[in-house]
Amino acid sequence: MPNTPNESSVVHIVDDDVDLGDGLSSVLRSVGLNAKTYRSTQEFLRADDLDAPGCIVLDIRLPGTNGLDFQEELVGLGVRLPVILMTGHGDIPMSVRAMKAGAVDFLPKPFRDQDMIDAVTAAINRDRLQRASEQQAVAIVDRYATLSPREREVMALVTAGKMNKQIAGELGLSEVTVKIHRGAGMRKMGARSLADLVRMADTLKDRTR
C-alpha cells in the first residue's frame, strides 16, 4: 500500500531546463504517475490543479525566483503540496534549510531515476496523509462556523470539562440556557458524545497553532 502511487496525483515539475523536465516526466509516467512541467514558478502558479493531490519537484536555480525562497512562499500562497528540491549546484546549508522548511527530499543533480521515484512516492504519501487529516479538520471548522457566539462560549467551557452549573455561573446564565446552547452545539457539531466533542475541540485548537 505505501508503494501505490495514486494515478490521480499530479507531480508538478518546475525546472527551466526543458529537456530535464521532459525526461523526468517520462520516467515518472513510466511508473504510472501523472507529471506536468513548468519552466518557471510563475507558470506553475497559473496552473489550475494546485489544490489537487500531488507534489512539487522544484529546481533551485530558476529564472527570477530562487527555489528555496519559493518553497517558503508556497505556505503563504496556500499551496500545501509537499516539495522535493533538486539542484545542480547546491551545498549543505541549502539542503539543511530546505529540510527545515519541510521539504520531503533534496536531490543533487545528477540523481538516479529511482531516487526521484522514491522521493515522489514518499511525497505523494505524505500528501495523502496531510489531506486525510486536513479534510477532517476542515469539516470540523465548517461546522464550528455555524455556532453562534454564545454557543461557542458554552462549548469551550464544556470541552474544558466544566459542569453545566459552573458554566451557568461563569457566564451569568441559568442552567437551562446553558443546556440549550450545549445541546445546539452538539447537534451543529455533529458530535454523538462528549468524547467526540472534546476531540473536535482539540482539533480546532491544533489548527490555530
161, 172, 208, 209: residue in contact with its own copies (rule CB under 8 A): 161
User: Of 31-39, 51-59, 75-83, 149-157, which segment contacts DNA by CB under 7 A?
Assistant: 149-157
Please check whether residue 33 is in contact with residue 9, taking contact to mean a CB–CB distance below 8 angstroms.
Answer: yes
80, 109, 126, 179: residue in contact with DNA (rule CB under 7 A): 179
146, 196, 206, 207: residue in contact with its own copies (rule CB under 8 A): 196
Is 105 a binder of its own copies (CB under 8 A)?
Answer: yes
In the complex, least distance from residue 34 CB atom to its own copies, rounded to whole angstroms: 25
Neighbour order of strands in the sheet with 83-87:
34-38, 10-14, 54-59, 83-87, 105-108
In the complex, least distance from residue 9 CB atom to its own copies, rounded to whole angstroms: 21
- 122 vs 171 by CB, closer to DNA: 171
Please give the single-letter amino acid code of residue 142.
D
User: Of 104-112, 118-126, 182-190, 199-207, which segment contacts DNA by CB under 7 A?
Assistant: 182-190
Q: Considering CB distances under 5 to 8 angstroms, the limit depending on partner class, which of its own copies, DNA, none binds residue 173?
A: DNA
Give, as ranges, the residues between 155 and 174 that touch DNA (CB under 7 A). 163-165, 171-174
Is 176 a binder of DNA (CB under 7 A)?
Answer: yes
User: Of 18-26, 40-48, 135-143, 189-197, which segment contacts its own copies by CB under 8 A?
Assistant: 189-197
The dihedral through the CA atoms of 120, 125, 126, 128 has a sign that is positive
Quote the CA–CA distance of 185 and 191 in Å, as a whole number: 8
Is 193 a binder of its own copies (CB under 8 A)?
Answer: yes
Phi/psi of residue 36, each to 5°? Answer: -130, 145
Q: Which residues form the interface with its own copies (CB under 8 A)? A: 90-93, 95-96, 99-100, 105-106, 108, 158-162, 192-196, 198-199, 202
Q: Which residues form the interface with DNA (CB under 7 A)? A: 148-151, 163-165, 171-174, 176-177, 179-183, 186, 194
